[in-house]
Structure 1
Amino acid sequence: MYSIVMLVSGTGLGHLLTFLSLPILTRHFSPNDFEVLGVFVAIVALLSSAACCRFEIAIPLPKRDKNALTLFLLSLICTTIISLLSLILILIFESKILEASSVPVFILYLVPIGVFCAATFNALQFWATREKAFDLVAKTRVSQAVAGNGTQLLAAFLSIPSGLVFGQLLNYVSGIFSTSKYLLTHHGQVLKTIKKKHLYFIARRYRQYPQLSTFEVLANNGGIQLPIVLIAYFVVGPEAGYLFLALKILQVPMALIGGSIAQVFYAEVAKASKDQVAMITEKNLLSLLKLGVGPLIFIGCTAEVFSGYIFGDGWRRTGEIMMILTPWFALQFLASPISMIMHVNNAQKQMLCLTLFGFAIRIGSLIFAYFVFSDHYTEFLGLACAVFYLICLITFSYKSNVSYYRLLGQAAIPIGIVFLWAILAVAVRGVFL
C-alpha cells in the first residue's frame, strides 16, 4: 500500500501541475497548435513504445541483477538503433511527410530525440520497478511536470507556438537524469563487467519479447496513437486538437492511479506463486474500481458543462468528446493495469492476437466513419475502444485465474461508490445544462 501511495502522490502532483497549466495554455495556444502537439506526441509514443524491442519489460523478472542489467543494456542499444533509423527515414521521406501533415519541418527532426529519451526513461522505470524504488519514480514524474509545463507556460507568455512541442520534449529529456544516476550509482560497476557474449546469451534467452511483444506493443500503441494522426489527416479543422486535449485529461486517472497500481502489480506478481496471483489481481481490480472509475465517470459526464469555463471559449467540443469517450476509459482503467499478467504467464502470442484485434477494430472504425459517417469519427472510435477493453478485461482476469464469485462478493462497496459518483454527475448536468 505504501508503494501505491508513494507513486500516486508523485504522479498526482505531476498531473496536478499539468492540469493547472492547461487553462492558461488553451487561452494562449489554438486547437491547431494542440493538433501539432498531438501528432508529435503520437509519433514519439508509438516509436518509443517499441524502441527497446520490449527487452525492458523483462527487466524485473531475472533473479540475478547482472542479467537484469544486461536486459537494460540491450534496451538501450535497441533504442539507439531505432532512434537513428527514425532520423534516416525522416531525411529520406521528409517531403512526403510534410505533404500529409501540418507538422512544421523542424519539429520532425525533434522526433528521434523524443523517441530516444522516452524509450530510455521507460527502461529506467522498469529497473526502478525491479528495485521497488517507487519514491524515485514519483520524484522524477514531478520534475518532468515542472520542466515540461514550465517550458510550455514560458512559451505561452512569449507567444511561441512551437513551445508546446519543446515543453513536451523537455519532459522526455528530464525524465532520464535522476533515474540513470540512481542506476549508475548502485550498479555502475556491474554494468562494466557485462561482455558481448553475455549480451548474446541474454538476448537469445529473452528473444520472445522482441519477436512477439514488439509487434504487440506497436499494434496496441498504433491503435491508441494513430487515430489522432488519422483524424488530423482526414478532418479539415482542429478536431484532432480537441481529441488530443480530451485524451490528455481522461488519461489523468489512468496515469495517476492505474499506472501506479500497474507498476506495483507487476512487481508483486513477477515473484508471486500461482495461487497468489489471483488474490493479487482481485485486490487490484477492487482498488481500481473503488478509487478511479467513479471520479472518471464524473469527470467525463460533466466535462461538457465546465470545459468552456475552464479552457476558454472555443473548447466546448473537448467536453463533448470526453463524455463520448468515458465508457472506453472506464474499461481501460480496469483492464490495463493487470495486462502485465500476460507477460508473467509468457502469453505473448495470445497478447499479440488480442492487440492486433484491437488495432484492427480501432483503425477500422475510423476508416468506416471516413467512408460512411464522416461527421462521427469520435463516436465510432469510442465505441470500438470500449468493446476492445471489455474483451481485454475478461481475458486478463481469466489468465489471472480470478474467481468472479469471490470478486463480486467483495465488490458491493466499490460498486456503490461508483454509483454515487454517477448520481452526482447526473445531478450536476441537470443543474447546469
Structure 2
Amino acid sequence: MLSKVNVLRNRPFVQNVLTLASGAAFAQFITLVFSPLITRLYGPEAFGLVGIFVSITTLLTTAAALSYPAAIVLPRDDWDALRLVKLSLILGLLNMLVFAFILIVAGEKFLQVLNAQYLEPYKLLLPLAAFTSLLSIIVAQWLIRKRAFSITAKYGVVASLVINILKFTIGLLAPSALALIVTNIVGLAFGAILTLRAYLFEVGGEKVKPGNSSHDSIFKVAVAYRDFPYFRMPQNLINAFSYSLPMIMIAAYSGVGSVGYYSLALMILSAPASLVGGAVMSVFYPKVAEAIRAGADVQRMIVTTTFWMAMVGVLPYLLIVAFGPSLFSWAFGLEWSIAGEYSQWLALWLFFQFINKPAVAAVPALRLQSGFLVYELLSTSAKVLALYICLSIFEEVLMAVAIYSVVGAVAYIWLIIWIIQSAKLYQYISV
C-alpha cells in the first residue's frame, strides 16, 4: 500500500496537484483563521452586500473577454498563446469601459433590473473589480500553461495573508461593506501582480518569439478559437448566473441579511472546491489536452481522478451535513447559525461540484462545448424554477436553498456521467 502511495506521489501530475493544493490549502487556512474575526466585525448585512457585488462582478468578468482566457493553455505555440493574452486584455478593457459608461448613464436602472439597488453607492467599483478579476484569470492561465505551479502556490499564500490582515485591520477601525469590496479588489490585483512578477524575475520568464504558428494576427487567432466565445462564454455566463441567482433572489424576497448567511455558507463550503478542486482542474486541463493528442485513455484518467476527488471530499462535506449549525455557531458566533442550516443543504450540491472538476476540465479538449452549453441551459432553468417556486409561493429561504442544492447535485451527477461516456466515444472515433 505504501509503495503504491509513493508511486502515485512521484508522478508529475500528482506532484503538481500537491504543489498547487498545498499552497491553496495554506491560503484557505489563513482565510478560515481570519473568518471568525471578520464575521464578528462586519456582520451579515455587509457580507450580503459583498456577496451580491461579487456575483455581479463574476457575470461581468465572464463576459468581458468572451472566454478567450480559457484558451490560453491550448495552443502548441507560445506565440499564439501570447496573442490570446493580448486579445483578452483588449476585449476586457473595451468592454469594461463600455460598462462603466452604462453605469454612469443608467446605473440605477441597471441595478434595479438585477434587484441589486443596494449597490448604488458602489456601482462604479463594479467595472474596476471585473477588470481586476480578469487580469488575475489571464495571469493564472499563463502560469498554468508554463507549469509555474510553485509560483502560483507560494504567492497565493502571500496574497491571502495580506488581504485578510487588511480586512481585519480596517474592520477594527471602520467595518463596512465598502471596506470588504475594496480589499477584495486590492487582493486580486496584488495577487496577480505578485505572481506575474515572480514568473518574470524569479523563474526568468523567457521572451516569447514567433514560432511555427500559422496565425499571423490576433484576428486569426480569435477566429481559430472562436468556439470559446460561441460556446464557452455563454456556458460560463449561464453558470455565473446560476451562481449569482440565489443571492439576487434571496435579497429580493428576504433582504440583504439572508444573503449574508448564504454568502458565508457558500464561501466556507466552496473552500475545498477552490483548494483541491481548483488545483486538480489547473493541472488536469493541459494534461488531458496532451493525452488526447497522444491517443491515451482519457476516460480512465477522468474516472480515476474523479474517484480520488470523491474520497478526499466525502468526509468534510458529511461533517457539514451532520453538524452545520453547531459548527457555524461555534466558529463565527451565534448569529451565524442560520448560515449553518443553509450549509447542510449546500454541502450536497458543492460536493458534486467539487468532484466534477476533472470532467469539466476535459470539456474543451473533448470538443464538448456546444453540448456543455445545452447542459448549462437546462440545469440552470431547473434551478431557476425551483428557486422561484420556493421563494414566491412558499416564501421560505431554507426550502429554496435545499431544493436548489438537490437540483444542482442531480445535474452535476448527470454531467459527470455524460462526459465520461463522451470521452470513451471520442477515443473510439479518434482511433
When the two structures are superposed, what TM-score results if normalisation uses the length of structure 1?
0.87
Please tell me whether the aligned partners of residues 48 and 119 of structure 1 are also in contact (alpha carbons under 8 angstroms): yes
Residue 54 of structure 2 corresponds to residue 41 of structure 1: yes
Is it true that 1:62 corresponds to 2:66 in the alignment? Answer: no
* SS of residue matched to 2:76: coil
Q: What is the CA–CA distance in structure 2 between the aligned matches of 1:167 and 1:293, rounded to whole Å?
A: 33
Give the conservation status (yes or no) of the 8 Å contact 1:303–1:322. yes
Counterpart of 1:419? none
1:212 partner letter? F
Q: Which amino acid aligns with 1:213?
A: R
**Pairing 1:110–2:110 present:** no
Residue 313 of structure 1, CA deviation = 2.1
Whichever residue aligns with residue 140 of structure 2, its letter is: Q
Measure how far apart 1:237 and its partner are: 5.3
Match of 1:362 in 2: 383
Distance 1:76 1:189 in 2: 17
Summarize the Cα distance change of 1:50–1:336 in structure 2 as closer, same or farther, 3 Å threshold. farther
Contact 1:36 1:102 in 2 (8 A): no
What's the TM-score, normalizing by structure 2? 0.88
Cα deviation, 1:46-92, whole Å, max 9, x if unaligned, reads 22123221111111111111011111111111111222122122112
Q: Which residue does 1:121 correspond to in 2?
A: 136
Once the two structures are TM-superposed, the CA of residue 189 in structure 1 deviates from its matched residue by 5.4
Counterpart residue number, 1:313: 334
Alpha-carbon contact 1:257-1:292 (below 8 Å) kept: no
Q: What pairs up with 1:328-407 in 2 under 5 angstroms?
A: 328-375=349-396, 376-401=399-424
**C-alpha distance in 1, partners of 2:59/2:103?**
15
| Shift of residue 401, structure 1, vs aligned partner | 2.4
- Deviation of residue 342 (structure 1)? 1.4
**1:168 aligned to 2:184?**
yes
Whether the 8 Å CA contact 1:293–1:333 is kept in 2: the answer is no
Q: Which residue of 2 aligns with 1:96?
A: 109
CA distance in 1, matches of 2:314, 2:141: 26
Shift of 1:335: 1.1
Which string of whole-angstrom CA distances, capped at 9 and with x for unpartnered residues, describes residues 214-248 of structure 1? 11100111111222122112213511110000000
Letter aligned with residue 182 of structure 2: F
Q: Distance in 2 between matches of 1:369 and 1:269?
A: 40
Q: Does 336-345 or 237-246 show the bigger shift?
A: 336-345
Q: Output the CA distance in 1 between the equivalents of 2:255 and 2:128.
A: 29
Percent identical pairs in the alignment equals: 25
SS at match of 1:80: helix
Aligned counterparts of 2:133 and 2:391: Cα–Cα separation in 1:
32
* Contact residue 90 and residue 108 of structure 1 kept, 8 A: yes
1:142 maps to what in 2?
A: 157
Among 209, 218, 242, the residue aligned to 1:199: 218
Choose the corresponding residue for 2:278, options 259, 281, 290.
259
1:271-299: per-residue Cα shift (whole Å, max 9, x none)?
11343312321221122012122222223
Q: Distance in 1 between matches of 2:244 and 2:162?
A: 24
Cα distance per residue 1:373-393 (max 9 Å; x no partner): 211321222122112212212
> Given that residues 52 and 123 in structure 1 are in contact (C-alpha distance below 8 angstroms), is that contact kept between their aligned partners in structure 2?
no
Partner residue in 1 for 2:8: none
- Kept in 2, the 8 Å contact 1:331–1:393? The answer is no
- Is contact 1:250-1:300 (8 Å) kept? no
Partner of 1:430: none
Separation (CA, whole Å) in 2 of partners of 1:101 and 1:352: 27
Name 2:428's counterpart in structure 1.
Answer: none
1:32 aligns with 2:45: yes
For residues 226 and 255 of structure 2, what CA distance do their matches in structure 1 show?
44
Task: Name the SS for the 1:344 alignment partner.
Answer: coil
Question: 2:18 maps to which residue?
Answer: 5
- Uncovered stretches (5+) of structure 2, i.e. residues with no partner: 1-13, 426-431
Unaligned runs of 5+ in 1: 403-433
Question: In terms of mean alpha carbon deviation, does 245-254 or 332-341 score higher?
Answer: 332-341
**How far apart are the structure 1 equivalents of 2:105 and 2:200?**
37
- 1:60/1:270 contact within 8 Å kept: no
Per the TM alignment, residue 31 of structure 1 is displaced from its structure 2 partner at its CA by 0.6
Residue number among 89, 92, 111 corresponding to 1:76 in the alignment: 89
Q: Per the alignment, in what secondary structure is the counterpart of residue 334 of structure 2?
A: coil
Cα deviation for residue 265 of structure 1 reads: 0.9
